[in-house]
C-alpha cells in the first residue's frame, strides 16, 4: 500500500456524477489513445506531463486511463502534491457510457 493510495470511483458512479456535477476529469492516456475515444467531459493530460498539472485544489480530480493503472499512478502523484483524487476503476475498458 502506497502512502498516497488513490481513492477509487466505479465507472457507474462516475457516470452518475457527470450527470449532476461539473467535475475535473483528466484522461491521462497519450494523445492518440485519447483521440481514439474518450469521455466527453474528460480533458487530456498525459501521465508523462502530470507533474505539471496546476488546477484548483478546492475540488477533487477524477482520473481515467485505458485500464486504471496509469490513472492510479497519476492520482498518487497528484495526491502527493496536495490534490484530492479519485481513480476510475477498470479504466476505459469498463466505461460503458458515451464516448466521443
Mean pLDDT by 10 residues, the chain (100 residues): 72 96 96 96 97 95 96 96 96 94
According to the model, what pLDDT value does residue 30 have? 97
- Quick: pLDDT tens for 35-60: 999 999 999 999 999 999 999 999 99
Which residues touch 39 (CB under 8 Å, ≥6 apart)?
18, 25, 27, 64, 92, 95, 97, 98, 99, 100
Q: Measured between alpha carbons, how far is 96 from 79 in angstroms, rounded to an integer?
A: 27
Query: Is the pTM above the cut of 0.75?
Result: yes
According to the model, what pLDDT value does residue 5 have? 67
Handedness of CA 70, 35, 94, 83 (dihedral sign): positive
Structural domains in the chain, CATH included, are 7-94 (3.40.250.10)
**DSSP state letter for 9:** E
According to the model, what pLDDT value does residue 6 have? 74
Amino acid at each position: 500500500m502506497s502512502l498516497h493510495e488513490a481513492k477509487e470511483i466505479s465507472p457507474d458512479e462516475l457516470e452518475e456524477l457527470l450527470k449532476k456535477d461539473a467535475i475535473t476529469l483528466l484522461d491521462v492516456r497519450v494523445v492518440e489513445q485519447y483521440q481514439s475515444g474518450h469521455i466527453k467531459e474528460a480533458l487530456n493530460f498525459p501521465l508523462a506531463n502530470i507533474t505539471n498539472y496546476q488546477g484548483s485544489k478546492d475540488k477533487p480530480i477524477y482520473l481515467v486511463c485505458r485500464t486504471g493503472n496509469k490513472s492510479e499512478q497519476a492520482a498518487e502523484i497528484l495526491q502527493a502534491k496536495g490534490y484530492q483524487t479519485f481513480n476510475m476503476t477498470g479504466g476505459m475498458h469498463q466505461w460503458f457510457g458515451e464516448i466521443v
